[in-house]
Amino acid sequence: MTNPVSWQSGMIAVLRRSAALLRSATPLLCAALILLCTATPIAVWAQPPVQPSRRTVSPSSPIVKNVSFHSAALNRDMRYRLYLPHHYPATTRRYPVLYLLHGLFGNYQNWDTLTHLASHVSGMDWIIVMPDAGDSWYTNSASVPKDKFEDYVARDLVAEVDGRYRTIRDRQARAIAGLSMGGYGAVKFALRYPHSFAFAASLSGAMDAARDLDSRLPEFAPKLVEVFGAPGNPTRAHNDIFQLLPKSAPDELPYLYLACGSEDRFLLVNRDFVSELAQRHIRYEYRENPGTHDWAYWDREIAPLLSAMQNQISQKPH
């Protein structure tokens, strides 16, 4: 199958060569070609097209399940993909849990099918939960009362997993992480529910989602306004992590782990948020490496995230 991103790169190269040949003869056509070369489709930038599953199977690979349950907050059935440790059926022990959130235009299968996550967690004694949340920004919507996606994750999903599986039902054995929209969500949950998680992580987090992302990236404005309301709506302040941070007690917050690519359009806002963490003496770790807003970067960065998570969780008594 042709890779859509590779195909697009090849076409851009052809168009640029064509533009160079036509520049002197047809200036108007040249300008149109250059514009086409530089334009980036929203869906490609925010969530690259789905590729074949990257999961490989070994004796220590996690057990993969697709699960549905009824969310009281949303009053509808919701799905999640679950990893159980390979020896889960043969034991009676309890396990820590990582909630792993997808990004905008994504779904609950992405982490499993678009990264080598199964290989990264092979042999790990963790339960990993990947919920479906649509384009909700993990927020109780300002304009659609039935869309209580924050309550769905923070309350219903955690209760569902703790009730159905042998989890360690304690904050000290619970982590949350995500990419892009999910990175914003994970940090917001850490600040809003500090007694629910011991570790929270963001890869390429959209930290200004509730603040001014719709003015900075107008292509996302319709959904952002639906979720957070128009500028000035109280829902914005209620979900702005820059405003939540000063209200948080530093010694009660989870350990925060953040990473962002040096070519990512969310780089500056990530740096701003990290600066706030440093000024408030909040425990955190920040990685900034070459990379952009794509699955190649997230696949590469999930391994150090998992390592930091295990280091932090293992330091705490269960």
Tens-level pLDDT at each residue, the chain (318 residues): 434 434 444 444 444 444 444 444 444 444 443 343 344 434 334 444 445 456 666 778 999 999 999 999 999 999 999 999 999 999 999 999 999 999 999 999 999 999 999 999 999 999 999 999 999 999 999 999 999 999 999 999 999 999 999 999 999 999 999 999 999 999 999 999 999 999 999 999 999 999 999 999 999 999 999 999 999 999 999 999 999 999 999 999 999 999 999 999 999 999 999 999 999 999 999 999 999 999 999 999 999 999 999 999 975 544
Question: Domain 48-314, what architecture?
Answer: 3-Layer(aba) Sandwich (3.40)
The answer to whether the CB of 151 falls within 8 A of the CB of 189 is no
In degrees and rounded to multiples of 5, residue 101 shows phi and psi of: -100, 140
Separation of alpha carbons 35 and 47, rounded Å: 22
> For residue 310, how many other CB atoms are within 10 A of its CB?
17
Cβ neighbours of 274 (radius 10 Å) = 19
Residues 6+ apart with CB under 8 A from 168: 94, 95, 96, 97, 174, 318
| Residue-wise pLDDT tens digits, 179-228 | 999 999 999 999 999 999 999 999 999 999 999 999 999 999 999 999 99
**Residue 33 DSSP SS3:** helix
| Beta-strand relationship, 76-84 and 127-131 | antiparallel
The closest alpha carbon to 295, from 265, 270, 261, 271, belongs to: 261
Work out the burial of residue 1: count CB atoms within 10 Å of its CB; fewer than 13 is exposed, 13-18 middle, 19 or more buried: exposed
Residue 33 and residue 22 in contact, taking contact as beta carbons nearer than 8 Å: yes
Q: Are 111 and 188 in contact (CB under 8 A)?
A: no
The contacts of residue 112 (CB under 8 Å, 6+ apart) are 53, 55, 64, 81, 83, 118, 130
Closest CA to 98 of 8, 177, 18: 177
Identify the DSSP state of 102: -
CA distance 95 to 34: 54
**135: amino acid identity, one letter:** D
Instruction: Find where tokens 């789905």 sit.
Output: 50
Residue 257 pairs in a beta bridge with 201, 285
- Please give the distance of CA 181 from its chain centroid, rounded to a whole number: 5
Chain Cα centroid distance, residue 168: 24
116's tokens: 């080598």
The DSSP call for residue 165 is S
